[in-house]
Structure 1
């Protein structure tokens, strides 16, 4: 029955032998050992963080039933960290080349700006770096002089922002079968809308809940910076609902609001996200079926250090995220190690509106 239901959604490049290897690996984990899956080229890429925390796929003989899917976006639906790291590295590199300021010094100056604005994707970052102002010739703005850095950043972001395998097929299957898909992200509005447009998910996601954008700095003309008509920056099919600024996961209030808005009890809602500390903890607080998108976990990636160096997160959050001590983080109910489409192995989704 599953094959018939998911002819498209299951197209994630896994053959039968790879799935057998994964099942065997799960069995080894249940016995208490950690297999080195990287040594077998046919094995699916189970992330090291998943092995370090000791999470397992909770395959059950009977599927759970749900009428609503709520998803995180960054590193659950699309490759946020890969795109952020690639684009921010380019911004740093070219800015350093043009200014003569080391990347180390730039990073030290950048983090307070990110923390002040509550985002690691602050669009006016270069405008607020005091070190750059004195380097710009008279009659030229910072944005104009450092346009090659901004261009390199934007190009890298566009090239590397991609959906994870199986996402589009899974969301299409759910939409066509009457299940509402809602997205809830901590990322601010502008870049979230851009990624939805870039990945052609406008309409596949029914509603987007996100914080409003940061303010435009004094002296910056927003319209002069835009290259397209204003309407091109808006979503046309996905309804965008702004949530109060300052609310961050695992605060459960927004997820509870989503359940109330759709008149679906927590026991019939699934929440999928890549953060145990934020997504899983939040879902468990409201009683929803919590699912860890282990395929998107990046905290053990060596490149993650750059994000920590310039992140808007407080030091305590950075430290807790890396703490793998027993009892620090909740244990997820379900774990997806290969992709979002695996959710259909665990949950039978019905129509959101009866």
Structure 2
């Protein structure tokens, strides 16, 4: 029997993760990062396994796997080019990273249509990600979601090496940076999912109760657990799960995650004890089958 509209939970706010929920972050990361690694090995002669070890150390120190000044802090490159401008010397490797990122960044099927439908219903869409500010903004602009997402919550940008400024990394005109219509707010440093403080603040700031809110994300141990602890409707974006892909091992080898994080993720992805109440198996648009989104 078809579900009647009144049978669905009535909700007034959608809060969503970004990476591997609205777009395939992992696919883009893997294609672009592995292309850079191959070019870096070709240009420097340093074996990729050695580069990976050094990259992981930098990523852990900076707390992100998207560190824009990465090449400036790799000991092997520093030793190979003492006092050299590493960003200039290895510009070709950076170029292939950026060009592949541009080529592969796109929304999952059904995302734009669903967000536009909610906008027509006057239901706001808020994004909350642990990714750093700059790349989250870039992807929202690249995918055309600036303004369709009402508010964006991100981690602050990573620190830079002594003597290097943001302007040293930015090559485009100033107007190319930042969002035009989406309100961008930063999460305090040291706050990570499944900590409920940010999601709870998003809900209370909107004058809503948790049972009026849907939260969707691809991570069981972060997104689903956080939503369940908050009392919001939890939705697992199962289509975005990437941990089972063979290519995911590269991310594990160079990520800023701790070894404990990696092992816990392996356990959960292999069949842990976290059970989402709702699951999107194929598309983001399946949200409309589960919930009655209405203006508060």
TM-score for both structures, normalised by structure 1: 0.80
Structure 2: unaligned runs, 5 residues or longer: none
CA drift of 1:330 comes to 1.8
The residue correspondences of 1:61-76 to structure 2 (distance < 5 A) are 62-76=7-21
Match of 1:305 in 2: 249
- Distance across 1 between alignment mates of 2:276 and 2:120: 28
Find 2:237's aligned residue among 293, 298, 302.
293
Structure 1: unaligned runs, 5 residues or longer: 3-58
Match of 1:250 in 2: 194
Find 1:133's aligned residue among 78, 97, 100.
78
RMSD (Å), alpha carbons: 2.0
- Distance across 1 between alignment mates of 2:148 and 2:243: 28
Q: Secondary structure at the match of 1:323?
A: helix
Given the superposition, is the C-alpha separation of residues 341 and 325 from structure 1 closer, same or farther in structure 2, using an over 3 Å criterion?
Answer: closer
- Distance across 2 between alignment mates of 1:144 and 1:220: 13
Task: State whether residues 221 and 268 of structure 2, in contact with CA within 8 Å, keep that contact through their aligned partners in structure 1.
Answer: no
- Distance across 2 between alignment mates of 1:158 and 1:186: 21
CA drift of 1:229 comes to 2.5
Match of 2:63 in 1: 118
Asked whether 1:208 is paired with 2:178, we answer: no
Asked whether 1:161 is paired with 2:98, we answer: no
Match of 1:86 in 2: 31
Match of 2:93 in 1: 149
The residue correspondences of 1:1-354 to structure 2 (distance < 5 A) are 62-136=7-81, 140-324=84-268, 328-352=272-296
CA drift of 1:218 comes to 1.1
- Distance across 2 between alignment mates of 1:326 and 1:229: 46
CA drift of 1:79 comes to 1.1
- Asked which structure has the greater CA Rg, the reply is 1
CA drift of 1:134 comes to 3.1
Q: Secondary structure at the match of 1:306?
A: helix
Task: State whether residues 68 and 169 of structure 2, in contact with CA within 8 Å, keep that contact through their aligned partners in structure 1.
Answer: no
Q: Secondary structure at the match of 1:321?
A: helix
**Paired positions, count:** 295
CA deviations 1:232-279 (Å, max 9, x no partner) are: 211010000111011111111110011011111100100000001100
Q: Secondary structure at the match of 1:73?
A: coil
